[in-house]
Amino acid sequence: MRLFKPFLVILILFFYCVPNNINGQNKTQMNAQKLGTTLYLIENFYTDTVNLDKVTEDAIIAALKELDPHSAYISKKDVEKANEQLVGSFEGIGVTFQLVRDTITVIGPTAGGPSERVGIMAGDKFVKIDGEDAVGKKIDNEWVQKHLRGKKGTKVTVTVKRGNDPELMDFEIIRDKIPLNSINAFFMMEKNVGYIKLDRFAQESTKEFKNALADLKKRGMKSLILDLRSNTGGYLNTAIELVDQFLKANQLIVYTEGLHSPRQEWKSTDAGDYTEGKLVVLIDEGSASASEILSGAVQDHDRGVIIGRRSFGKGLVQRPFNLPDGAVIRLTTARYHTPTGRCIQRPYEEGTEEYYKEMTKRLEHGEYFHADSIHFPDSLKYKTDNGRVVYGGGGIMPDIFMPIDTSFNSKLYTNLVRKGVFNKYTVDYAMANRENLKKQYPEFSHFNKDFQITDAMMEEVKAVAEKEKVTWNDEEYQRSEKYIKLQIKALIARNVWEMQQYYEVTLTEDPTIKKAMEVVGSDRAYKNALR
């Protein structure tokens, strides 16, 4: 902060010279002087030592909170981490891991990544990293990332315990760039229906999507289910590119407008790879921003059927502005509007705290369970290309409402998740049975169809739960039995195969997926949803 002192001295002298007359200076200049003067006074006259960097950051954060819920300050040290998920890669050793009993357990190495190249295998336990003990209560996700991530080309030595082998093994791994995929899963379902699960709208998402789409088409896809549930958004350009895949040329995708940002429109081109087949888009209260741009455009042009629950309602455009020290302010500069003119953003006039209580209010009002608990005034009524009525006022309301599934929501199920019982059991089970499972089920589809969670396995799960001090309630177990067994099977699939197989298991009992399959499986049902 000392670097800025001459500038602050100039400000304070100027302030003292003209205390009651701003001589035509605008409000921005006056407020900049006021802030600079305040910092100068604190640094030079306050009775105690002050961390002026922190005071400045706190002042910026407090100011942004007064504007809207999505304008944000990102410190220099957090900028790279904040961008990482959207840029689509990081530099490290390339493993998916879980912390099981204070130990780093490898779920699987990234295909083609540096760990796979040296022979790291699923089930391996990292007991030392560069000679430092990597077990115990000090080990958390932050510690692991700090020790395993690093610049491309740098080396790290991990000491591994593999299975029951008493001898530890050392692996020298050269860090490399590791891709972060934004599509968690894509595969064919029944009746020529393809499924794509998009996790975020990142830098490489369009490329990933087009590759997945081409693969599914080769396998005979005629209808597509695009799952945007819990997708919190990402890059505007990526959202526009993905909408472009579904629309015919010259259709409005989205427009933005703000006080200092004139209206800007984006329209589709003739480059769409999927402009004809049936399309279902799944959304829920966790779908936000870019997810709402896509689902709003699809709905307004009657291009597909939206199924699920009302989306989050985040329709503010943030533009990044770099600060002198490398920090970034993401400032809201405009609002998103769907092609019909609907504003996606829900109200936030009551302040940020109340804004983020909205999801709890939706639950209390019964919105997660009954579509008719949601009421929109006629002033927010809009019409799609086909003349269907849709509403603005915050978020995208689906064409077909699906209540939240509460059958798994028992205290027992919650505690099993919270205490990590599912993870602990399935990691151990997969490590002990991986080879046998792959021999018994050479094709994953056979596992998905035939593998069952036995009573003996559930007794083992109970034993793990007891160790983790989870009280086993038989009544709650009976209520959630189907979903407890489903979660166990899905996690075993993920640990033996990959994340995609986790989704292939869980979606077999997903009510929203079943409804989507029902809609695309019937021409009549599909057309009725778009009337």
What is d(CA 190, CA 12) in angstroms, rounded to the nearest whole number? Answer: 72
> How far apart are the C-alpha atoms of 118 and 261, rounded to whole Å?
52
289 is an active site residue: yes
326: left (phi over 0), alpha (psi -120 to 50) or beta: left
Measure the CA–CA gap between 171 and 130, rounded to whole angstroms.
10
Cβ 526 vs Cβ 278: under 8 Å: yes
Q: Is 16 helix (H, G, I), strand (E, B) or coil?
A: helix
Q: Which of 289, 291, 295, 410 is catalytic?
A: 289
- Among residues 350, 359, 357, which one has the least CA distance to residue 309? 359
What are the residues whose beta carbons fall under 8 Å from the beta carbon of 72, sequence distance 6 or more?
Answer: 64, 318, 329, 330
Distances (CA, A) of 261 to 237, 255, 258, 323: 17, 11, 5, 21
Candidates 314, 424, 489, 515; catalytic one:
314
**Assigned token pair, 410:** 């028992």
Residue 314 annotated as catalytic: yes
Distance CA 2, CA 353 (A): 35
Q: 345: Cβ–Cβ under 8 A, 6 or more apart, which residues?
A: 313, 314, 315, 316, 335, 336, 394
Is residue 182 part of the annotated active site? The answer reads: no
> What residues pair up with 99 in beta bridges, in sequence order?
104
Tell me the three state secondary structure of residue 265. strand
Q: What is the DSSP letter of 134?
A: -
DSSP 278-307: EEEEEE-TT--THHHHHHHHHHHTT-SEEE
**Active-site residue, from 199, 300, 399, 510:** 300
Q: What is the DSSP string of 375-401?
A: ---GGGEEE-TT--EEE-SSS---SEE
Lookup result for tokens 């830098």: 203
Alpha-carbon dihedral sign for residues 196, 201, 205, 206: positive
Bridge pairing between strands 72-74 and 193-198:
unpaired
For residue 122, the SS3 value is coil
Dist. CA 300–CA 287, nearest whole Å? 17
3-class DSSP assignment, residue 104: strand
Catalytic residue annotation: 289, 300, 314
